[in-house]
Amino acid sequence: MSRFLLITSDNAFEQKVRLATAGGLPGEVLSVRPDLLARPEDLLDLVAVQQPEVLVLGPGMAVEGALRLATVVDVRFPNVSLVLIASDEYSVALQAMRAGVRDVVDPTADIPTVRMLLERACHAFASRARTENGPAAPKQEHGLVIGVFSPKGGVGKTTIATNLAVGLGKIAPMGVVVVDLDLQFGDVASNLYLDPEYSVLDAVSASASTDTMILKAFLTPHPSGIYALCAPSNPADADNISAGQLEVLIKQLSAEFAYVVLDTGPGLTEHGLAALEQSTDAVWVTGMDVPSVRGLRSGLDVLSQLNLFPETRHVVLNFADSKTGLSVQDIEATLGAPVNVSIPRSRGISLATNRGVPLLQEEVRDPATKNLRSLVERFDPKWRARSQRGLHRRVVI
């Protein structure tokens, strides 16, 4: 058996793949020339015998033929991660996604890029294998939709949302998407150091709302193994996105991903309420100051009157500092709800935000890292399966 099955007639690219796997990806690489696979059945037989994790359709194959083979393999062996090597990867991206291809990369890509691509494909294979074979939680028809909310701005919602998404990406590689629903001034792109080609505006178009494969073409991959759907670059575009379109978008994404993280704008806007209605979990963020706490209490009261609470909620105290004059008990008494996680005021978080690299992406040693991981853990199926974990323990600052 070979972990990587490469179909190519390009010796230089074959050598590049072998060097990439030699740099930390164990497993044998089997390379086969395309002219030895005269019929699709020949490739299917080869995949059945070798049982690879990753099938790379490399240089030397006509793109149309490679996509036809990919479609057949995806139907017969849905667990295998398919990678297509194509010169003009953007022009074939949509066709490739329809054919079940996970990634498209240019043949001139350097060795570190190829290594990252193959590693990501292996993670995807492992994730699917765990889902099918492991002692996992009961299978859900839809993934968890985790909305991150706060009536007031400036409390660190985007930092919480992006770190949460990156942390969940380690539980479900390639199974997480973070959506920036602060449609006018969202910062998910900058917090993840992304320059997205597409945005939420593209994702709610008529073609994307009726075809999930088109929708996936508008997602931006992130090096941590998650996807991002960023806010429009023009704030005026927010007026062209309705709450109804967002509801359809969230339902589509939750049917395809294990976790959908929604970073919402401040206040209780029409878009925010649409996100709340679709959320299975709500993460409420407050700063450790009187205006933030009172604002959250007022927002929770309004939502309670509207009966818009998701089944599960998590209160996060951000910028926690014992020297502010407020205690956790004061905040809980005002909110009428327990604080589940506190994130201490941290220089590391500020540096990570300015760099565009979430704290949990590089596992930086920082006081906030452990607490952010505690928040991520609350959405791990193993954690949620233990009912006693649901009991509130007062956080310590």
Which range marks the domain in which residue 225 is found?
Answer: 144-390
Question: Are 191 and 109 in the same domain?
Answer: no
CA distances from 383 to 112, 223, 368, 380 (A): 35, 26, 20, 5
d(CA 153, CA 289): 13
**Torsion angle in degrees (nearest 10) through CA of 208, 54, 134, 215:** 0
Q: Which of 100, 133, 166 is the last residue of a domain?
A: 133
- Within-domain flag for 109: yes
pLDDT tens digits for 267-279? Answer: 888 898 889 888 9
Whichever domain contains 40, its CATH number is: 3.40.50.2300
Largest CA distance in the chain: 75
Q: How confident is the model at residue 163 (pLDDT cuts 50, 70, 90)?
A: very high
Length of the chain: 397
Asked if residue 149 lies in contact with residue 282, where contact means CB atoms within 8 angstroms, the answer is yes
- Within-domain flag for 227: yes
Amino acid, single-letter form, for residue 384: R
Q: Which structure tokens are listed for 208?
A: 């994307």
Question: Are 113 and 154 in the same domain?
Answer: no
- Within-domain flag for 138: no
Whichever domain contains 162, its CATH number is: 3.40.50.300
User: What is the percent of the chain where pLDDT is above 90?
Assistant: 29
CA distances from 188 to 14, 60, 81, 195 (A): 37, 39, 28, 10
Q: Which structure tokens are listed for 269?
A: 């806007």
Question: Are 312 and 182 in the same domain?
Answer: yes
Task: Identify any residues that bridge with 176 across adjacent strands, giving them in sequence order.
Answer: 259
Q: Which structure tokens are listed for 197?
A: 């080609």
Question: Are 211 and 107 in the same domain?
Answer: no
- Within-domain flag for 23: yes
Question: Are 311 and 383 in the same domain?
Answer: yes
Token pair 């919602």: residue: 157
DSSP letter string over 62-73? -HHHHHHHHHHH
Say what the pTM is.
0.65
- Within-domain flag for 299: yes
Encode burial over 128-138: b for 16+ CB neighbours within 10 A, e otherwise: beeeeeeeeee
- Within-domain flag for 198: yes
Within 10 A of 22 (CB to CB), how many other CB atoms are there?
Answer: 12
Q: Which structure tokens are listed for 137?
A: 């939680």
Q: Which of 109, 133, 157 is the last residue of a domain?
A: 133
pLDDT higher than threshold 70 for residue 76: yes
pLDDT higher than threshold 50 for residue 18: yes
Q: Which of 111, 133, 155 is the last residue of a domain?
A: 133
d(CA 276, CA 305): 14
Question: Are 208 and 349 in the same domain?
Answer: yes
d(CA 121, CA 172): 13
Task: Compute the mean pLDDT over every residue in the chain, rounded to the nearest whole number.
Answer: 85
- Within-domain flag for 396: no
Question: Are 114 and 206 in the same domain?
Answer: no
Question: Are 267 and 322 in the same domain?
Answer: yes
- Within-domain flag for 215: yes
d(CA 283, CA 268): 14
pLDDT higher than threshold 50 for residue 355: yes
CA distances from 88 to 16, 33, 84, 96, 368 (A): 19, 22, 11, 12, 42
Q: How confident is the model at residue 177 (pLDDT cuts 50, 70, 90)?
A: very high
Question: Are 353 and 250 in the same domain?
Answer: yes
Question: Are 161 and 306 in the same domain?
Answer: yes
DSSP state of 84: E
Within 10 A of 17 (CB to CB), how many other CB atoms are there?
Answer: 26
pLDDT higher than threshold 70 for residue 242: yes
pLDDT tens digits for 184-194? Answer: 899 999 999 99
pLDDT higher than threshold 80 for residue 307: no
DSSP state of 142: S
Q: How many domains does the chain have?
A: 2
Question: Are 159 and 299 in the same domain?
Answer: yes
Q: What angle do CA 262, 266, 271 make, to 5 degrees?
A: 55
Asked if residue 375 lies in contact with residue 164, where contact means CB atoms within 8 angstroms, the answer is yes
Question: Are 71 and 166 in the same domain?
Answer: no
pLDDT tens digits for 367-390? Answer: 888 899 999 999 988 777 665 444
Within 10 A of 215 (CB to CB), how many other CB atoms are there?
Answer: 24
